Amino acid sequence: MQRTFKLSLIASLSMMAGLSMAQDVVKIGHVGPVSGAIAHLGKDNENGARLAIEELNAKGVKIGGKAVKFELIAEDDAADPKQGTAAAQKLVDSKVNGVVGHLNSGTTIPASKIYNDAGIPQISPSATNPKYTRNGYKTAFRVVADDVHLGGTLGRYAINNLKGKSIAVIDDRTAYGQGVAEEFKKAVTAAKGNVVGHEFTTDKASDFMAILTKLKAKNPDVVFFGGMDAVAGPMMRQMKSLGINAKFMGGDGICSSELAKLAGDAMADGQVVCAEAGGVEGQQKKGMEDFSAKFKKRFNADVQVYAPYVYDAVNVMVDAMVRANSADPAKYLPALAKANYNGVTGTITFDEKGDIKNGALTLYTYKAGKREQIAVVR
């Protein structure tokens, strides 16, 4: 009896081991700034990836007829280009099957060469600088519109909708901040607007009194900032203390749930106009609302900006693997380039450069400390 039990136990354990061995592990890398001033945005992105991975594993996915388990390999780049390239090399050395990230253009662009050299597909959920997809790397994709669209739309809105007569521009000199500010300026000039000054800061700065005092003398009615919310909030506080009563505009970097907290009582209702490089409307709105609800339930936090785009990026990548019957980067890369995926952020297809086709923008303002949608623009 005891011998029979032992044999049964050995057989059961062997079977379990066989099942475990039969389940291949597919590694998906994610990189974002989970430390530093914009760690809240980096964590938001990382949690979007985590939610997608958890759901895929719970559902059960087969690639090439074999059950697979997805593993998230998360790295921190602290929004620093040097740390970003180190994180990218670490993921390559870990033999990841694909990468979703980075968050910032300044980290995404140098990292993209490392992934390209290793033949690993990369989807950025939030880098908007056009240069990212202009290097001819077949491995580089993004699921949001770029700065040409983002800055251009905001520039036209400043003149045509806000009726701005004196436009001041500030940027943080990062690849993202400088890029979106330049595109904004081009659009303002093309719309016959008047740029009265362009000042510079950094993404680590906290004192803006000198540049704001300089701009105050020009009496601007619109101030555009190319940079992130961690700098924009304190900047708005200092604008208020100097008595600069202007509309405050910016791109997706400032367009977070956190901005209202960072700006405090310096933010008046309707004062801020910002754009998120993505957007859904009509029937697709429900998918985004459902995502926000399950994200809140899982992480006890509201979506900041790009978690749903990260979530979709992971699913687009896995969908390509399933269609290619392989998680081998070289084999599923052609399928990824031909993606046609309906996600929570809308339909995702890529052009020949790896940019999303027909990318949307969503314009927002803030009222009573809450972000409020103005319009979706294509």
Secondary structure of 259-314 as H, E, C letters: HHHHHHHHCCCCCEEEEECCCCCHHHHHHHHHHHHHHHHHHCCCCCCCHHHHHHHH
Same domain, 140 and 152: no
Residue 224 confidence (pLDDT): 98
Residue 14 falls inside a structural domain: no
Domain of 333, CATH number, reads: 3.40.50.2300
Residue 368 falls inside a structural domain: no
Same domain, 140 and 151: no
Residue 201 falls inside a structural domain: yes
Residue 376 falls inside a structural domain: no
Q: Which of 226, 253, 276 is the last residue of a domain?
A: 276
| Torsion angle in degrees (nearest 10) through CA of 142, 101, 303, 205 | -110
What are phi and psi for residue 23, nearest 5 degrees? -90, 105
* Separation CA 262–CA 233 (nearest Å): 4
Residue 11 confidence (pLDDT): 46
Residue 278 confidence (pLDDT): 82
Residue 13 confidence (pLDDT): 46
What are phi and psi for residue 277, nearest 5 degrees? -80, 70
Same domain, 29 and 123: yes
User: Buried b vs exposed e over 145-183: b needs ≥16 C-beta within 10 Å?
Assistant: bbbbbbbbbbbbbbbeebebebbbbbbbbbbbbbbbbbb
Spatial strand order of the sheet with 361-367 comes to: 195-200, 167-171, 222-226, 247-250, 272-276, 361-367, 370-377
* Separation CA 56–CA 37 (nearest Å): 31
Residue 34 confidence (pLDDT): 98
**377: enclosing H helix or E strand:** strand 370-377
Residue 310 falls inside a structural domain: yes
Same domain, 155 and 269: yes
Domains: count for the chain = 2
Residue 107 falls inside a structural domain: yes
Residue 4 falls inside a structural domain: no
Residue 22 confidence (pLDDT): 56
The reply to whether the predicted model has a pTM over 0.95 is no
The residue range of the domain holding 125 is 21-144+284-357
Residue 10 confidence (pLDDT): 47
Name every residue whose Cβ is closer than 8 Å to that of residue 275 and which is 6 or more positions away in sequence.
Answer: 150, 153, 154, 251, 252, 255, 361, 362, 363, 364, 377
Q: Which of 260, 276, 292 is the last residue of a domain?
A: 276
* Separation CA 169–CA 189 (nearest Å): 12
Counting as low any pLDDT under 70, the low residues of the chain are 1-22
Q: What angle do CA 208, 180, 368 make, to 5 degrees?
A: 65
Same domain, 268 and 303: no
From first CA to last CA, the distance across the chain in angstroms is 73
Same domain, 137 and 152: no
Q: Which of 276, 302, 332 is the last residue of a domain?
A: 276
